[in-house]
Copies of this chain bind each other. A is one copy, B any other.
Amino acid sequence: MRLGCWFGGCDEIRLMNQPISSSKSTNVTWQQGQVSRREKQHLNGHRSVVIWFTGLSGAGKSTLAYAVEKKLHQLQCRSFVLDGDNVRHGLCGDLGFSEADRQENIRRVGEMAKLFAQAGVITLTAFISPYYADRDRVRALLAPGDFVEVYCRCDLEVCEGRDVKGMYRKARMGEIRDFTGVSAPYEAPEHAELVIETGKLPLDECVNQVVQYLQNHGVMAGS
């Protein structure tokens, strides 16, 4: 039994007159689960990490993330993709695209990815996430080695040439504001764990590079 007694939950409680904190949620203590992350990883047969794909719109982040997920599944690994679409429909459905809202979006995704990793799941996220600061805040949430930043490098011209959904065209015409690479900056990672040339290499090769990295870093056994 946890804490020597079988009751002991502490949630949703607020004390008045408590010290001001940077977090509004004070007076809560971390509850250690009975099953550790290590035990969950052992059951799965692999380590869990957060693989953070970043890059321009059209660079292939989501497609690469889903393709890696498929490969991991074939290797009997538990994985899950968080991307702009499934998150924007739900958890972050209250957020728009102002700078503050984009920052909050990435913060929530980072916190959620951390919990998925604690659950033993290899967590793949696919967001433009154009700012160093936002990405580094997520990195700081996780232990060293648990955050794998993957820069999907693809020239703007290539992304714009693909322009599957006509977004770049609309951005150039001024119909979309603050469009990364056109009217808003993209801060390319300088110390990413992996740089993948998604503008030049075929998808299979990109997938292999990610999987190879995971095998080389002990996330799962080599094939």
Partner of A115, one of B24, B34, B80, B111: B80
CB-defined contacts of A33 to chain B, threshold 8 Å: 66, 69, 81
Q: Could you give, for residues 1-39 of chain A, a 1 whenever the CB lies within 8 Å of some chain B CB and a 0 otherwise?
A: 110011111111111110000011100111101110001
Judged by a CB distance under 8 angstroms, whether A176 is at the interface is yes
Enumerate 21 A-B pairs (CB-CB under 8 Å) in ascending A order.
A6-B67, A6-B203, A8-B62, A9-B57, A9-B83, A10-B57, A11-B85, A11-B127, A12-B97, A12-B180, A16-B176, A17-B175, A23-B94, A24-B94, A33-B81, A39-B73, A44-B78, A78-B78, A90-B114, A119-B121, A121-B121
CB-defined contacts of A126 to chain B, threshold 8 Å: 9, 11
Contact A118 B80 (CB under 8 A): yes
Q: How far is the CA of A39 from the CA of B165 in the complex (A)?
A: 29
At the interface, is chain A mostly helix, strand, loop or mixed?
loop
Closest to A80 in B: B119
For chain A, give the interface size range. Answer: 35 or more
Judged by a CB distance under 8 angstroms, whether A133 is at the interface is no
Query: A residues bordering B, Cβ < 8 Å?
Result: 1-2, 5-17, 23-25, 28-31, 33-35, 39-40, 43-44, 57-63, 66-67, 69-70, 73, 76, 78-97, 101-102, 104-105, 108, 111-112, 114-116, 118-121, 126-128, 141, 159, 162, 164-165, 167, 170, 175-180, 198, 202-203
**Which of A31, A108, A114, A116 gathers the greatest number of chain B CB atoms within 10 Å?**
A31
Partner of A25, one of B25, B80, B93, B141: B93
* 8 cross-chain pairs, A with B, having the tightest CB-CB distances, nearest first: A11-B84, A9-B62, A90-B111, A14-B97, A80-B119, A25-B88, A24-B96, A91-B111
